[in-house]
Amino acid sequence: MFFHEFKYTIKNILRTKEEIFWVLLFPLLLSIMFHVAFGNINNTTENFHTIPVAVCLEEGAHSESFQKVLDTLSDESVEDTPFLAITYTNLENALTLLETNSVRGIFQVDDEISLTCTPSTASSSNATLAIEQSILESFLREYRTNAKTITEIAMTNPQKLPEVLSLMEADDFYGQKLSLTDGNMDTMVQYFYNLLAMACLYTSFAGADISINNHANLSTLAARKCVSPRGKLLSVIAHFSASLLIQFICIALNILFMVYVLKVNFAAPIPLLMLTAFISCILGISFGFFVGSLGRMEQGIKIGIMVAFTMVSSFLSGLMVGNMRSIVENICPLINDINPAVLISDSFLTLNIYGVTNRYTHNLFMLLLFSAAFLCIGCIKIRRKTYASL
């Protein structure tokens, strides 16, 4: 029964031109457009270099500790190419430096630490800006997490503090960044990550079909299936597996096309790129399954919801405006934490810049967590067997 359903779902998807277009051809065409518009991105590939930042220190809880961290990371005696080049100044001067592009960001430090970055453009002269801003954001986020962890342990379990500190040193986030000079620092590659994220989210169309074809009150086809003696769960699993296989192949073809035809340097092993794409497809299909199971609204409305969600989350991740992610990070970081397009594109970015790190595994974990949530809700809604109306 499983293979019967699996086989016909594959046939169905392969013959549904719209689904193949949005997941395979549309990203493919966009990637060609990006390639043409941005030129040969390999020519602009740069190695990592020191990031100039301005720091405005005020009296506060974080001032001293953060300054020590900054000093360490900008110490030329420790590394030939230090992570940061710091200019301590007041806010007014810092803003002037930012406007003249002399620094990439401003850290304002008092009781809280904030990061201000200049809006970047997609021009090749600002090629590394978005990546550098992303690195500064990651650095700040990591610092905040570690500071919070240390504070909590110091308050609740002080005897464990030395052990935790040595563990943190072993997993030296900042050290890793400095050593990762093989990554592609070209900001244009970020557009391809966002494009892949969007394509992965478009797999939601296939996910919606799973719900619509198994809910008797959503389609006559589903009603006909529901009166047959086959278990609904088995059908859903078969449908999901077949959808995942086809959608993943489409995304994989996109990646291979970008890598081997457009010569985009993702600076990461292909298997890891594929793993990221695979998990992202799981998220996309699960999301579609969830939306498809949302009540009896028309199919067009559900498709509208999925398109809107994909476009908004892709926009916020920087598909249309390069530094949108930085803007969101400054206004409401939580959005970046839960935006699937950001999680997907950031996974690719992390692979590029840092390799497999905690941040990468955390992103994948979040994607799987969201997938599980969408699947659970969808399954709860779809398990119903009799309906009040059809």
Partner 1 sequence: MSTPVIKIENLVKRYSDLVAIDHFNLEIKDGEIFGLLGPNGSGKTTTINCILSLLSFDKGTIEVFGKKMHPDSYDLKRQIGIVMQNVAVFDTLTVYENIDYFCGLYIKDKNLRKQYVEEAIAFVELDQFRKFYPKKLSGGLLRRLNIACGIAHKPKLIILDEPTVAVDPQSRNKILEGIVELNRQGATIIYTSHYMEEVEQICTRIAIMDSGKNIACGTADELKQMIKKSEKITIEISSISDEHMKNLLSLPHVYDVDYSNGQLNVSCSGGRHNLIHVLEYLQQQDLSFGRVYSELPTLNDVFLEVTGKELRD
DSSP 103: -
Q: Which of 223, 259, 311, 335 binds partner 1 (CB under 8 A)?
A: 223
Binding segment for partner 1 (CB under 8 A), chosen from 29-37, 87-95, 212-220, 302-310, is 212-220
Structure tokens at 316: 């916020």
| DSSP β-bridge partners for residue 88 | 55
Q: Which of 59, 166, 271, 385 binds partner 1 (CB under 8 A)?
A: 385
Please report whether residue 18 would count as binding partner 1 according to CB under 8 A: no
DSSP 24: I
Please report whether residue 388 would count as binding partner 1 according to CB under 8 A: yes
Q: CA torsion sign, 361 to 285 to 244 to 184?
A: negative
CB of 379 to partner 1, least distance (A): 16
Q: First and final CA of the chain: distance in angstroms?
A: 26
CB of 222 to partner 1, least distance (A): 9
Binding segment for partner 1 (CB under 8 A), chosen from 163-171, 227-235, 264-272, 365-373, is 227-235
Please report whether residue 16 would count as binding partner 1 according to CB under 8 A: yes
Q: Are 154 and 161 in contact (CB under 8 A)?
A: yes
Q: Which of 155, 159, 228, 300 binds partner 1 (CB under 8 A)?
A: 228
Of residues 40 through 99, those in contact with partner 1 by CB under 8 A are: none
Please report whether residue 29 would count as binding partner 1 according to CB under 8 A: no
Q: Which of 141, 144, 225, 362 binds partner 1 (CB under 8 A)?
A: 225
CB of 386 to partner 1, least distance (A): 4
Please report whether residue 220 would count as binding partner 1 according to CB under 8 A: yes
Please report whether residue 387 would count as binding partner 1 according to CB under 8 A: yes
Q: Are 109 and 122 in contact (CB under 8 A)?
A: no
Query: Which residue, 86, 84, 85, 91, is CA-closest to 56?
Result: 91
- Please name the residue that has the structure tokens 């001067």: 93
Please report whether residue 380 would count as binding partner 1 according to CB under 8 A: no
Query: Nearer to partner 1 by C-beta: 211 or 276?
Result: 211
How many angstroms separate the CA atoms of 115 and 144, rounded?
12
How many angstroms separate the CA atoms of 214 and 235, rounded?
8
Phi-psi region of 252 (alpha: psi -120 to 50; beta: other; left: phi over 0): alpha
Binding segment for partner 1 (CB under 8 A), chosen from 50-58, 85-93, 198-206, 223-231, is 223-231
DSSP 22: I
Query: Nearer to partner 1 by C-beta: 185 or 216?
Result: 216
Structure tokens at 254: 């996109």
Please report whether residue 296 would count as binding partner 1 according to CB under 8 A: no
Report the Cα 192 to chain-centroid distance in Å. Answer: 12
Query: Nearer to partner 1 by C-beta: 159 or 228?
Result: 228
Query: Which residue, 239, 246, 247, 243, is CA-closest to 213?
Result: 239
Q: Which positions touch partner 1 (CB under 8 A)?
A: 1, 4, 8, 11-12, 15-16, 216, 219-221, 223-230, 385-390
